[in-house]
Structures are given as structure tokens and as C-alpha cells.
Structure 1
């Protein structure tokens, strides 16, 4: 009997203010719907991050929480070991920013070293990005998938040569109002939208699981989820026309 697929939710007390823990629940449920045994491991600062995770999750948080999370993860080291062993990291908003090489905090824009898992840098933007965002993601099979979410970030992120954008922006700001959103590098995926974003976008959730398991997953027939996604896309486009 194979071991359950381990979903590791990291530091909710620091990076859990926007409901991004829902991403973990979505991944577990979509595995269980397929008859795949899964377990959710929640880790707080001071406890070791398991190096056995299949998917690691980081969520949104404030400046001080970002610094604390980086220091704790660097001291622990097991996130890096888990990724080296084949795990996948999905990081949202503040979690995305701390995965980069550097990010800034506070009114003085103090530059902080990140985890160095993504070739991106984040600096204070000219305005805060707040509102619904709609992006277009090219799935591994070449199909175009629309992703929806809610962005709320003051940092603007620029990608270096080592990272590729996750998606292109149709409505919203994204990385730096440059038409790109998120970043992908190896088995690390960063993105700005909340929602939770994986509850809104089943295709992206299944992609993360496929990468973690190194195989394609059989499709799930959940028409109610597809319909909710269609309604959300229509709502975002309608709101954009009004404004």
C-alpha cells in the first residue's frame, strides 16, 4: 500500500490571513475524489517542516510575517530538501514574494533576502493592486485556461531570466502591470490571486497535483465546479466593462 500524498500547509499563523489555507483543502479533496489517499500536514514556526511533502503551500501575510517566515524556513531547511526530493511548492502573494531573491518591506522599502527559489525581485509598486484579476494560462497540453482570483498587493514583481510567467493578464495588474502574472521555475509556482485561487481554478489545482505525482490525473466530472468557474469569469469581465 503506497503512502498517502502529503500536502504541507506552512506557517498559517504568519501567512494565513487571506484564507489561502483553502488551497490545501482543495488539493486534498481533488485527490480523494479520485480515490487517492491524501493527508494534510499543518506546520507552524518552531515545528519542523517535513521533507516528505508532495505539495508545499505558502499563503498571504504582512511584512513582518514575511520576514519571520523567511528566517524560519531558512533555519529549518526542510522545504529546500523536500523540493530537492521532488516536491512542488505553490506560493500565493506574500508567499510568492518571499520565494524570490529579494523583496522590500515597510515605508523605508528595506530590502530583504528571500528564499531564492524563484528568479524574481519584488519592490513597492506605484499603486496598490486591489481587485478581481483574470488571466490566461497555457496548460501543459497546450490548451488555454482562464484563471480568476482576487489580488491585493503593494509589491510589484519583476521576473529574471530564470523564471517564466505563469499567465498573461486580461484584467487586473498581476506582477507589475506588465501583462504577466505569477512565475514558474522548476517545481516552484508563484501567483498573486487569492480566492482561494485553487478553489476558483480546478485546472490549475490538477496541474499542481500532476506535477507533484509526475503523472497525468484522470479528469474529474464536476459540472457544478465548471459552472461556477464560468460564472466567475463572466462576472469579472462584466465588472471590468462597468469600470
Structure 2
């Protein structure tokens, strides 16, 4: 009997789908399929039940109303919480990252909204908007490091509490707002600001999420054209070129 396909669950593309963040779900699915692993991309929209048997769940960027709607829907459905209890991985970008925290603000009056409580972070409006190419350093669990490239565009600045660990350290860009760190990780929940889509730009991070969800290492993929493009992007952002 063949194993069931690995489910990559894309949450609320209609709400949290700006800047092409749905590409993160596509690249995870493809990187499994390129290795001969049966994988299925499962899009879920508000009102649909969130499956509890996914391996990786993804959320992207969105506007204020989209954030509050997504929080309400996910808290009402509870499927994401069950999936995480079952050992799934969540990867959230920008607005998706913010709503994973304890609270975030929306609107001109900076109304404080309770988040999903999956990350020990708080997000508030920053003194200026963070826009532009970013470059940061990610340290893998084995102590080796990799560069993370992407494009950030966010007005929220994020403060980490003691239970969350910064995902990367900044070389170029704002990240969480202090210019020192970007994103957060807590257990099997990962958040970060850059778009790109960021997992297409950074295959090492994509494979780490898959390996964490599956519980075993994956065979490397030899794709020199991707590494060549990464090298050009890294050189450009360090030189301040668009």
C-alpha cells in the first residue's frame, strides 16, 4: 500500500496572498516531487475546514482587515492548532508572521488585536515603513549558516519575548524593526518578514522546513542555476542595487 501524499497546506490565499507568497507552498510541493516524494498542495479558504493532517502550513502577507479575518477564522476552526499539536510545521510571512503572535495593531488608531498566540511576539506600528531588499544570516540547528534573501515591505515592528528565538540576524534591511534580527521561531512555528517568495529564493530554508516536518533528512538537489541566481541577488543587495 502506497503512502499518502505529503500535504502542503496553503492557508487563506484570498486574505494572506499578496506579494506572491503562495509561491512558498508551490516550492515546497515541487521540492518534494523533484525527489520522487508524492506531495499535494492543499489550498484552504475561509469557511473551509482546515485539514489536521498536513505536514507544513503556510500563511503570507495581507492587509489589516485580512489579518483580523484570518485570526477569527483560524481561532473558530481550530484545525491549525490541532495540526501543530500533531507535529506539523507552520511557516508564516509578514502579516501572517504578525498574527501568529500574542497581539498586533491595525488601522490609523493602532487598535490592538489579539493574535493566534503561537509565537511569543508583539507587533506595533513602527516609526517608519521597512521597504526594500533584505539580507540576513540564518544559523541551522547543526551550527552551519546560510544567507536569506528577500524583499520586505511592512509597517509593523516586532518585539520578541523570552520564549521566541530570532530566526535570522540582519546584514541589510530592517527585519523585526531593529535592523538586528528578522523573524522568530518557537517550536515548529516559523515566522519571517521577507517576500520573494522567500522559500524560492532560499532553498536551504525550504528544505529545513520539510525535513523538520517529515522527521528525516532529504537528499540534496543539484540545481546550480538556483545557486547562480542567489549569488547575483546577494551581490546586488550588498552593493545596494535594485
TM-score (norm 1): 0.98
Counterpart of 2:152? 151
Could you say what the CA RMSD is over the residues aligned between the two structures, in angstroms?
Answer: 1.0
1:178 is displaced (CA, Å) by 4.4
Counterpart of 2:161? 160
1:141 is displaced (CA, Å) by 2.2
Counterpart of 1:197? 198
Structure 1 position 74 matched with structure 2 position 75: yes
**Residue-by-residue CA offset, 1:185-213 (whole Å, 9 max, x unaligned):** 00000000000000100000000000000
Tell me the SS of whatever aligns to 2:156.
Answer: strand
Aligned residues: 241
The whole-number CA distance in structure 2 between the counterparts of 1:205 and 1:176 is 24
The whole-number CA distance in structure 2 between the counterparts of 1:13 and 1:168 is 31
1:216 is displaced (CA, Å) by 1.1
The whole-number CA distance in structure 1 between the counterparts of 2:81 and 2:72 is 13
1:124 is displaced (CA, Å) by 0.2
Counterpart of 1:17? 18
The whole-number CA distance in structure 1 between the counterparts of 2:147 and 2:179 is 18
Counterpart of 2:113? 112
The whole-number CA distance in structure 2 between the counterparts of 1:20 and 1:178 is 23
**Residue-by-residue CA offset, 1:72-108 (whole Å, 9 max, x unaligned):** 0000000000000010000000000000000000010
- Which stretches in structure 1 are left out of the alignment for 5+ residues? none
Counterpart of 2:131? 130
Counterpart of 1:206? 207
- Which stretches in structure 2 are left out of the alignment for 5+ residues? none
Counterpart of 2:33? 32
The whole-number CA distance in structure 1 between the counterparts of 2:80 and 2:54 is 9
Counterpart of 2:172? 171
Tell me the SS of whatever aligns to 1:40.
Answer: strand
